[in-house]
Amino acid sequence: GAFTGADRKKHGLMEVADGGVLFLDEISSMPLDIQAKLLRALEERAFRRVGGTNLIHVDVQLLAASNRDLKTMIRDGQFREDLYYRLKVVDLHLPPLRERGSDIPELVGHFLRMQNARQGMNVTDVTPRAIEAMMAYSWPGNIRELSNTVERAMLFCDGETIDLPELPTDIVRAGEAGAAAAG
């Protein structure tokens, strides 16, 4: 093969997504040389495997996400401007979770249901004070952090209801600070 361990044909993401949608999360972390290859593949609707000679044609719609400002990255030479405009057919800005505190109760409910189904658990509720603490927290890790927090709380929960003792200390502190500021 072209590199150690490349002893068999393995379909890459673009091949697997052929005829459908390929989601690239955190495209901002993609190295510039790979960005160039992605751009070429999108424009030509074809690519060659590493070490390969055959042109593989694909029909892929690309959906990309980033938690970083790509325009700033372009200005700083960290993201290709041509790829940015190739991707920017529809630009959807989703504010960070810290700006959408009112979404937290519904998201927590979603993650509870998802984890209950996945883990075979039966944690069905969250106390109002635990929800208030989560709403007061800034969520620097965004939705992933909230999902992981709910999963962690469920693992520490002895009954069917998550309360403050099951939450990480920094979230509990945010709730206490929010309660103190409110009066």
Q: Position 129: which residue type?
A: R
Give the number of C-alpha atoms closer than 13 A to the C-alpha of residue 137, restricted to the C-beta side.
Answer: 25
The token duo for 24 is 């690239």
Does 157 have pLDDT greater than 80?
yes
54 or 7, greater pLDDT:
54
Closest CA to 37 of 51, 48, 23: 48
Summarize pLDDT for 109-134 with one digit per residue, the tens.
999 999 999 999 999 999 999 999 99
Q: pLDDT band at 13, cuts 50/70/90?
A: confident
Residue 162 host element (H or E)? strand 161-162
Confirm if 124 and 116 have CB atoms less than 8 A apart.
Answer: yes
Average of per-residue pLDDT across 153-171: 96
Q: Which domains does the chain have, with CATH numbers?
A: 13-87 (3.40.50.300), 97-182 (1.10.8.60)
What is the per-residue pLDDT for 92?
82
